[in-house]
Structure 1
Amino acid sequence: MDDKNLNSMTDELWRSAILPPDATIEQAISNLDQLAIKIVLVVNEQDKFVGTISDGDIRRGLLKGLGLNSQIKNVTYRKPLVVPPDMGRETVLQLMTVNKIQQIPVVDESLQVLGLHLWDNIAIQPTRSNLMVIMAGGKGTRLLPYTENCPKPMVMVSGKPILEHIIERGKLEGFSHFVLAINYLGHMIENYFGNGENLGVQIDYLREQSALGTVGALTLLDHKPSDSFVVTNGDVITDIRYGDLLDFHNRYNASATMAVRLHEWQHPFGVVLTQDIEVVGFEEKPIARSHINAGVYVLSPDALNELALNTACDMPSLFERLKDKSKRIIAYPMHEPWLDIGRPEDLYWANTNEV
């Protein structure tokens, strides 16, 4: 099985590994045998994470006199190591190594299971032939004065350009062919990265003669890609699993997929709820939650049919065009660390925190 199918399959496995506390030990054994990921995730009726079950837990239960029809709540390990959704990949890998474990559930503050880190999936580098396009042509006016004589993607974060962080992350995910769309001070980007040989990747360039927006530069591609490809803004540093995003897109046969991130904003004042002139309720500093565009996408080759050569277009506009043509556009909820370096305060935060 190739890496692409393996990654897609792994993304689905953890969902199949979920059993309720009243399932039988026999069901757990069957689950472990069929999925071969050496773990069962126990989740109750309220969709709350209860614990995990391994072969060892079952053996110990049977040695104590439990039978195959006994409920798995009797063998559930209730204090397993879990990680939050925003924990970086390298930290997870370190935890696995130190604790000598091969599986770590991803659980949020409300005890909802969001995923499962598997050693084979996180430690073994996949190989992907898909393109990864990075939009690196913007002027970065909000980041002045840092971008006065420097293209925004070349601004330094933790000792290296933003763009280098993105390429290294993509390489970690198995991508080896990158296309950089450049315009403002683009020669500085070309002089730094060249053909990508120093980073062990292939780098080609789309040279915009004028600003073409966050997607218009794709019309400059010499050949339409034969497979779906990743597109990311050149100012986004994130631990997103680009490969998982790509597999998600392919699994749902979408024309375009947008990575989205939950954003919370707390109102600074108490809110009065009214109906006409009547006061009907109060909310003390309510929290509003919405999904925001994370600036990372996957496009199928057919999506490029909606673009006109050398004509500016932004990604939301492309999504609108695809929607009007009844093409499938979907959202990929991401939970990994993410930072859009658009303002000086964002750059300061990035350089004073671990990135």
Structure 2
Amino acid sequence: MTHQYKDTFLTQSSTIIEALKIIDLAALQIVLIVNDDCKLIGTITDGDIRRAILNGVQLTDTVDKVMNTSPKTATQNDDTASLKSIMHTQQIHRLPILDEHGCVVDLACIEDFTDNAEKEHKNYADISIVLMLGGLGTRLMPLTENLPKPMIEVGGKPLLETIVTHLRDQGFKNFYFSVNYKAEIIEDYFKDGRDFGVKISYLYEDKRMGTAGALSLIPDQPKGPLIVMNGDILTNNNFAHLVDFHKQTNAMATMCVREYQQQVPYGVVRTKGTKLDTIVEKPSQTYFVNAGIYILNPTVLEHVPKDQYLDMPTLFTQLEAENYESSVFPIREYWLDIGNPQDLEKGRAEYHQIFSDKKA
């Protein structure tokens, strides 16, 4: 092992923002909260932070608001077989190793115990990406008069190319393109995906089928989960974290959400009966809105009727009504729905700050 585990150390007075920097930049993707003697107090993963965001925790709060105070650990006396067994049984990727005083002396990683065949699974060969590309892009006319919205240039290349290469670079190689309006332009550019290092199959919508109805066009039952995404979203979301989160929650379907703040432009008056209680000047309210990205277990397709219009929110509502578990995954990374000229210009202006110029 002998990983650079000390790079993951923070104290209880550290902020969640500091923890995020370690998770995002360090290969170990975990934070170990320790005291001055390196005694383990708790751990933080990406999933811990996202769950806390849903509960209203702020990124400027200290890490004690999100840390797991009872993490799974191992001792110096545990052999390799024991470490591997603990990690597989508990379905965890990282395991702090402690001495007799509870101090961190190493960090076991699941990669240490996987053979080449298992490591290949990290390419997510059983997961398919379904991109919904059939919209008319009416709000972006006249740009979309002769061009489908996903092919509009952002950052010197089609928006859709950025979506594909970002997912590919995270290990996702199997794609379905659901197309309708100006489908031939998309197909001529991407073909079978070979030039972009992926495999692309096309789902042809003869009529408008909504963001979920087109899933009925998938010819064979998928072996693993489906990540479904609208084709007008610019994001550097960590999709590997999304997959892990979905599996950990044991949900049938997971909807990505984005925090949205709405400010009241007036002083809000709060009353007690006929008496004035308080006045709050221009308060803001925080909501979580649908981010247009979903991950679905393959059995969800059994709930999508053939050849019928169905939107994704309606599908989630139906699953809930039938007592199937669904979850929400908050996107904390960059996210922009390019649905109007203002957002298009915003995406173009911010593109090179968010994405490095990687060649396909």
TM-score over 0.5 (shorter chain): yes
Please name the residue that 1:175 is paired with.
172
Question: Where do residues 68-217 of structure 1 align in structure 2 (5 Å cutoff)?
Answer: 72-73=35-36, 108-112=59-63, 126-129=122-125, 130-217=127-214
Question: Where do residues 57-72 of structure 1 align in structure 2 (5 Å cutoff)?
Answer: 72=35
User: Counterpart of 2:36 in 1: which secondary structure?
Assistant: helix
Q: Are residues 179 and 49 of structure 1, via their aligned partners in 2, closer, same or farther at CA, if it must alter by over 3 Å?
A: closer
Please name the residue that 1:88 is paired with.
none
> Which deviates further from its counterpart, 184-193 or 263-272?
263-272
Please name the residue that 1:55 is paired with.
none
User: Counterpart of 1:139 in 2: which secondary structure?
Assistant: coil
Q: Are residues 300 and 49 of structure 1, via their aligned partners in 2, closer, same or farther at CA, if it must alter by over 3 Å?
A: closer
User: Counterpart of 2:189 in 1: which secondary structure?
Assistant: helix
Among 261, 278, 284, the alignment partner of 2:258 is 261
Deviations 1:26-76 (A, max 9, x none): xxxxxx98x9744454453x8856989xxxxxxxxxxxxxxxxxx933679
Among 324, 329, 332, the alignment partner of 2:329 is 332
Mapped to 1, the partners of 2:328 and 2:18 lie a distance apart of 29
Deviations 1:309-338 (A, max 9, x none): 011111100000100110011001120001
Please name the residue that 1:236 is paired with.
233
User: Counterpart of 1:331 in 2: which secondary structure?
Assistant: strand
Indicate if the aligned counterparts of 1:42 and 1:50 stay in contact, CA closer than 8 A: no
Mapped to 1, the partners of 2:324 and 2:14 lie a distance apart of 33
Q: Are residues 350 and 75 of structure 1, via their aligned partners in 2, closer, same or farther at CA, if it must alter by over 3 Å?
A: same
Equivalent AA in structure 2 for residue 167 of structure 1 = V
Please name the residue that 1:350 is paired with.
347
Equivalent AA in structure 1 for residue 225 of structure 2 = S
Indicate if the aligned counterparts of 1:181 and 1:217 stay in contact, CA closer than 8 A: yes
Deviation at 1:159, TM superposition (A): 1.0
Q: Are residues 161 and 51 of structure 1, via their aligned partners in 2, closer, same or farther at CA, if it must alter by over 3 Å?
A: closer
Please name the residue that 2:300 is paired with.
303
Indicate if the aligned counterparts of 2:137 and 2:339 stay in contact, CA closer than 8 A: yes
Mapped to 1, the partners of 2:346 and 2:17 lie a distance apart of 36
Deviation at 1:278, TM superposition (A): 2.8
Q: Are residues 47 and 315 of structure 1, via their aligned partners in 2, closer, same or farther at CA, if it must alter by over 3 Å?
A: farther
Equivalent AA in structure 1 for residue 198 of structure 2 = V
Question: Where do residues 248-327 of structure 1 align in structure 2 (5 Å cutoff)?
Answer: 248-327=245-324
Q: Are residues 284 and 154 of structure 1, via their aligned partners in 2, closer, same or farther at CA, if it must alter by over 3 Å?
A: same
User: Counterpart of 2:216 in 1: which secondary structure?
Assistant: helix
Mapped to 2, the partners of 1:47 and 1:309 lie a distance apart of 52
Deviation at 1:109, TM superposition (A): 2.9
Mapped to 2, the partners of 1:158 and 1:226 lie a distance apart of 35
Deviations 1:247-301 (A, max 9, x none): 2111221110011111112222211113443322111111111111111110001
Aligned-residue RMSD, C-alpha: 3.0
TM-score normalised to structure 1 length? 0.69
Indicate if the aligned counterparts of 1:42 and 1:49 stay in contact, CA closer than 8 A: no
Mapped to 2, the partners of 1:194 and 1:277 lie a distance apart of 68
Mapped to 2, the partners of 1:138 and 1:276 lie a distance apart of 50
Q: Are residues 50 and 213 of structure 1, via their aligned partners in 2, closer, same or farther at CA, if it must alter by over 3 Å?
A: closer
Deviation at 1:128, TM superposition (A): 1.1
How many pairs does the alignment contain?
A: 269
Mapped to 2, the partners of 1:214 and 1:50 lie a distance apart of 34
Indicate if the aligned counterparts of 1:216 and 1:314 stay in contact, CA closer than 8 A: yes
Identity %: 35
